[in-house]
Amino acid sequence: MNLFVIRYAEIALKGSNREWFEKKLLHNLRRHLDVLGKHHSWKIHSRMLVETELDATLVAKVLSQIPGIANFSLAVQETHDLEQLGKAVQTLAEGYLTKHPQTQTFRIQASRADKFFPLNSMNLSAHLGGAILERWPHLKVQLKDPQMELGIEIWTQGRAILYLEKSPGLGGLPVGSSGRMMSLLSGGIDSPVASWQMNKRGAEMVYLNFHSYPYIGEESKEKVIQLVKHLSRYQPKTILLVVPFAEIQKEIKTLCSERYRTLLYRRAMNRIGNRLSFKYRTKAFVTGEALGQVASQTIENLTCTEEAAQFPILRPLIGLEKSEIIKLAKEIGTYPISIQPYPDCCTVFLPRKPETRAKLEDLLAEEAKLDLNALVAQAVAGVEVLKFETSLEDRFF
Ligand code: ATP
Ligand code: MG
């Protein structure tokens, strides 16, 4: 049986909301682990524990991807019996030293939630350090950057846990604790990274994709589905809304001035997004826009497109360079999916010379040529709703 102890950082800052945040994290943790198989997970002493027969490497991989977890350790459980604790520390050290025979330095880090425990943290560290030196007299205690580090936490009700290393988690806040948002997800590199950033800040995503069938093929939709499946390792249950966008694009192409085309597409996306936000109870839009990256992302043009949105538009990548975004996309694993060469709806009827500093009144005049209400209603009526729960295969193989 493996025992994982999970620590969370930022949640602790949340004062009276703390319990609610913890509940969210525990709920997410259980949902993510349910995908793997049987486990018993619960909260104790500002920690979460997972007891399971499941493969430890697999569990560790899942834990490392759940927003809200600061770090975690594979642990052993003991009683408060000092002699037993000494033996347990020796067993852990033996495992480590067999793998790392060159080890010279170590330290014991003890903490105590049970203040009735007879030794304070310092004395307990010294006591257990003694147990190590008794077996391996050549080792030296080193408080700063030791090679081997052993942790012990004394809990109430006669429980103690010991562990060797802390594996880093994603940090951030549990998904859902910052509310629901609508992520405008193209098949590109940027928007999946933006979604992940907001997941880490506790936002739950409803994904929205605009698709220009028949001008672009089914492969483009498949690519977005792959992205959503991949991203659901950070958020276990997801909805993807696919909006038919070709009709609106055709009307814009036929009736409006060419240089405003992309901006009119963007404004139409926001209008459709507004309607769907009410229906799916999302509180903001999330996009992958970065200042000045392309013509539609100058501050003037962003201002013009934003005007059509009834909800705040959050742009977590706004100050990043493309190379920084690509680095993140590689880290989170969306990059290889994003670079598959299938077009996005925005490439349909690309203007030869797009406007870089549009004026709102000009865009409004262009829009007046369209029967926007009817076009938006038609697009909303045609939305395809896809729901995902990550399968084991999608995650790991
Ligand atoms: P990305 O790599 O995310 O596609 P980009 O640099 O290619 O971004 P644009 O194509 O101008 O930039 O898109 C800007 C943002 O608009 C995207 O990040 C995304 O949030 C949204 N967007 C663009 N096309 C679509 C689409 N087909 N469906 C949903 N959202 C879209
Ligand atoms: Mg794009």
Query: Which residues carry a binding-site annotation for ATP?
Result: 184-185, 209-210, 266, 288, 297
The CATH number of 2-168 is 3.30.2130.30
Ligand 1, atom 20, residue with closest C-alpha: 287
Strand 140-141 to strand 285-286: parallel, antiparallel, or no bridges (unpaired)?
A: unpaired
Strand 160-163 to strand 40-44: parallel, antiparallel, or no bridges (unpaired)?
A: unpaired
Q: Which tens digits make up the pLDDT trace of 299-334?
A: 999 999 999 999 999 999 999 999 999 999 999 999
Question: Which-ligand-closest: CA of 190?
Answer: 1
Ligand 1 centre distance from Cα of residue 210 (Å)? 10
Radius of gyration of the chain measured on its C-alpha atoms: 26
Ligand 1, atom 17, residue with closest C-alpha: 288
Ligand 1 centre distance from Cα of residue 302 (Å)? 13
Q: What is the pLDDT of residue 397?
A: 44
Q: Which tens digits make up the pLDDT trace of 11-27?
A: 656 677 888 889 999 99
**Exposed e or buried b for every residue in 276-297, given b needs 16+ CB within 10 A?**
bbeebebebbbbbbbeebebbb
The CATH number of 180-396 is 3.40.50.620
- Give the residue, out of 184, 272, 322, with the most ligand 1 atoms within 8 A of its beta carbon, to mutate for a pocket test: 184
Dihedral class, residue 152 (left if φ above 0, else alpha if ψ from -120 to 50, else beta): beta
Q: What is the pLDDT of residue 295?
A: 83
Q: What is the pLDDT of residue 251?
A: 97
d(CA 207, CA 238): 8
Contacts of 188 (CB under 8 A, 6+ apart): 288, 338, 344
What residue ranges do the domains of the chain occupy? 2-168, 180-396
**Residues flanking ligand 1, CB < 6 Å:** 184-186, 188-191, 208-210, 287-289, 293-294, 296, 344-346
Count H helices, E strands: the chain? 14, 15
- Give the residue, out of 183, 189, 190, 210, with the most ligand 1 atoms within 8 A of its beta carbon, to mutate for a pocket test: 190
Question: Which-ligand-closest: CA of 269?
Answer: 1
Ligand 1, atom 24, residue with closest C-alpha: 186
pTM above 0.85, yes or no: yes
Ligand 2 centre distance from Cα of residue 381 (Å)? 24
Q: What is the pLDDT of residue 396?
A: 57
Question: Which-ligand-closest: CA of 288?
Answer: 1
**Residue 89 burial (CB count, 10 A):** 23
Q: What is the pLDDT of residue 347?
A: 81
Ligand 1 centre distance from Cα of residue 104 (Å)? 53
Ligand 2 centre distance from Cα of residue 193 (Å)? 12
Question: Which-ligand-closest: CA of 285?
Answer: 1
Ligand 1 centre distance from Cα of residue 327 (Å)? 18
Q: What is the pLDDT of residue 242?
A: 98
Q: Which residues of the chain have pLDDT under 70?
A: 11-14, 391-397
Q: What is the pLDDT of residue 293?
A: 86
CA distance between the termini of the chain: 24
